Structure 1
Amino acid sequence: MIDRSATTISADDVVDRLKRNLAYHTIVRKIAAQQAIDRAARERGISVDPDAIQAEAERIRLENRLEKAADTLKWLSDRTISVEDWEAGISDRLLSKALAEDLFESEVKSYFAQNKLNYDRLILYRIVVPYETLAQEIFYQIEEEEISFYEAAHLYDINEKRRYCCGFEGKVYRWSLSPDIAPALWSANVGEIIGPLQIEEQYHLFLIEEFIPAELKPEIHQAIIDKLFKEWLERELQYIFDR
Structure 2
Amino acid sequence: MARLIDLSIDSDQVIQHLKHEVKLKTVYQSILCKQIIEKASQERGITVEPEEVQAEADQFRYDHKLESASQTLEWLEDNLLTPDDWEAGIYDQLLKKKLADSLFGKQIEAYFAQSKVQYEQAVLYRILVPYSALAQEIFYQVEEEEISFFEAAHLYNIDEYRRLACGFEGKVSRWQLKPDVAAYVFGAHPREVIGPIQSGHDFELLMVEEFIPAELTNDVRQQISSQLFDEWLESELNHLVYSQ
TM-score bin (small chain): over 0.9
User: In structure 2, what residue type is equivalent to 1:105?
Assistant: G
Q: Deviations over 1:175-226 (max 9, x none)?
A: 1111231212121101111112223332211110111111111111111111
Any idea what the Cα deviations from partners look like across 1:62-90, whole Å, max 9, x if unmatched?
12221111111121112121101100000
Query: Structure 2 matches for 1:1-243, cutoff 5 A?
Result: 1-3=1-3, 7-243=7-243
CA distance in 2, matches of 1:2, 1:207: 50
In the TM superposition, what whole-angstrom CA distance separates every residue of 1:144-175 from its partner, at most 9, and x where no partner exists? Answer: 22211011001001111110111111111111
Bigger CA drift: 174-183 or 227-236?
174-183
* Closer, same or farther: CA 45–5 of 1 in aligned 2, 3 Å: same
**What is the CA–CA distance in structure 2 between the aligned matches of 1:85 and 1:149, rounded to whole Å?**
50
Instruction: Tell me: CA distance 1:232–1:147, structure 2 relative to 1, closer, same or farther (3 Å).
Output: same
Letter in 2 for 1:207: M
Q: Percent identity?
A: 49
- Amino acid across the alignment from 2:92: D
**CA deviation vs aligned residue, 1:69-122 (integer Å, no higher than 9, x gap):** 111112111212110110000000000001001100110111111111111111
**In structure 2, distance between residues paired with 1:227 and 1:170:** 22
**Aligned partner letter, 1:145:** E
Q: Classify 1:129/1:3 alpha carbon distance in 2 versus 1 (closer, same or farther; 3 Å).
A: closer
AA aligned opposite 2:52: A
Unaligned runs of 5+ in 2: none
Structure 2 CA distance for aligned equivalents of residues 6 and 118 of structure 1: 52
Please give the per-residue CA displacement for 1:16-52, whole angstroms capped at 9, x wherever unaligned. 1111111111111111111100000000000111111
Instruction: Return the offset for 1:138.
Output: 0.9
CA distance in 2, matches of 1:188, 1:4: 54
| TM-score, normalised relative to structure 2 | 0.95
The TM-score, its normalising length taken from structure 1, stands at: 0.96
Partner AA of 1:155 in structure 2: L
SS for the counterpart of 1:190 is: coil
Q: Secondary structure at the match of 2:77?
A: helix
Alignment coverage as a number of residue pairs: 243
Q: CA RMSD in A?
A: 1.4
Seen in structure 2, the aligned counterparts of structure 1 residues 234 and 76 have a Cα distance that, compared at 3 Å, is same
For structure 1, the residue ranges without an aligned partner over 5 or more in a row are none
Greater Cα shift, 97-106 or 59-68 = 59-68
Alignment partners' CA distance in 2, 1:196 and 1:79: 45
CA distance in structure 2 between the aligned counterparts of 1:212 and 1:30, rounded to whole angstroms: 36
Greater than 6 Å deviation, 4+ residue runs: none
Mark the CA change 1:55 to 1:144 in structure 2 (over 3 Å): closer, same or farther.
Answer: same
Q: Distance in 1 between matches of 2:155 and 2:4?
A: 50
SS of 1:41 mapped into structure 2: helix
